Amino acid sequence: MDTMNQNLRHIVGDRHPMLLAAADQIFGAGGKKLRPMVVLLMARATAEMAGLSNIVAYHRRLAEIIEMIHTASLVHDDVLDDCSTRRGKDTVNTLYGTRVAVLVGDFLFAQSSWYLANLDNLEVIKLISQVIADFANGEISQAASLFDTEITLDTYLDKSFYKTASLIAASCRSSAVFSGMSPEVKEAMYDYGKHLGLAFQVVDDILDFTQTSEQLGKPQGQDLASGNLTAPVIFALRNSPELVRTQLRYLHLV
């Protein structure tokens, strides 16, 4: 993980001072690094199953690619949501403006695609490329359902898959691919990543209501304020008395 963090902070080289400063701010802001950690843990588990003495270089590069893709999606999310803080620090759009933030996100997506192509594994390239398309699908689905008080749990889970679980699922399966696992094991790894990602998103949405902005490292209640109705709100709308449900439905009009 230490090696990965160092590699990520130097990923843009010295192409442009502002881009370098923005990248350093992003990758130096901390964060859980959950996704690359899952990649490396899955790599170790499947490598042991395959009788390998250690994980391979492709596993390590995959972890870097996954974190780059995730970070690129966060940079674009912050632009779309006009978010001012992330991981307890100012966002790129706050520091450098929307134009630079969009370009930084685009650069990270492009750079991750370049590294992905250099893995020379068509199965993994297809898996991770689909994830980038899923991000856009999830954003479009979210934009289409803002302030929709009739949104169903199934719709919420579909959107959560595209925005969160797809990346984790594909990265778990890709780790198994580089360990030479059977189709059955690869499918099991994908399912594990999918369900882990969905559970992670539900917990994250709950914390948005139960923790402070300082604890979250970003504004509390940002989703609700922007009209993105998450699992806690959906359950409240379905399981509260009619008077409460009516108040919730019209809250955004106040």
The reported pLDDT for the residue numbered 129 is: 92
- The class (CATH top level) of 2-253 is mainly alpha
Q: Are 151 and 119 in contact (CB under 8 A)?
A: no
Q: Which residue has the higher pLDDT, 242 or 184?
A: 184
The reported pLDDT for the residue numbered 169 is: 97
Main-chain phi, psi angles of 158, to 5 degrees: -60, -45
* Residue carrying structure tokens 């993994």: 124
Q: Which of 35-44, 62-71, 112-121, 244-253 has the lowest mean pLDDT?
A: 244-253
The reported pLDDT for the residue numbered 87 is: 65
Domain extents for the chain? 2-253
Q: Which of 71-85, 171-185, 237-251 has the lowest mean pLDDT?
A: 237-251
The reported pLDDT for the residue numbered 80 is: 79
Q: What is the pLDDT of residues 31-50, one digit of tens each?
A: 678 899 999 999 999 999 98
Residue 85 has pLDDT above 80, yes or no: no
Percentage of the residues of the chain whose pLDDT score is greater than 90:
41
Q: What is the pLDDT of residues 124-157, one digit of tens each?
A: 999 999 998 898 888 888 888 888 888 899 999 9
Of the candidates 12, 151, 156, 158, the one whose C-alpha atom is nearest the C-alpha of residue 75 is 12
The reported pLDDT for the residue numbered 108 is: 85
45 Cα distance to chain centroid: 23
What ranges in the chain are assigned the alpha helix state H? 2-9, 17-27, 34-49, 57-81, 92-96, 98-117, 122-144, 153-160, 166-178, 183-210, 213-216, 222-225, 231-239, 242-249
Residue 30 has pLDDT above 70, yes or no: no
Residue 252 is given by DSSP the state: G
Residue 252 has pLDDT above 60, yes or no: no
The reported pLDDT for the residue numbered 171 is: 96
The reported pLDDT for the residue numbered 42 is: 95
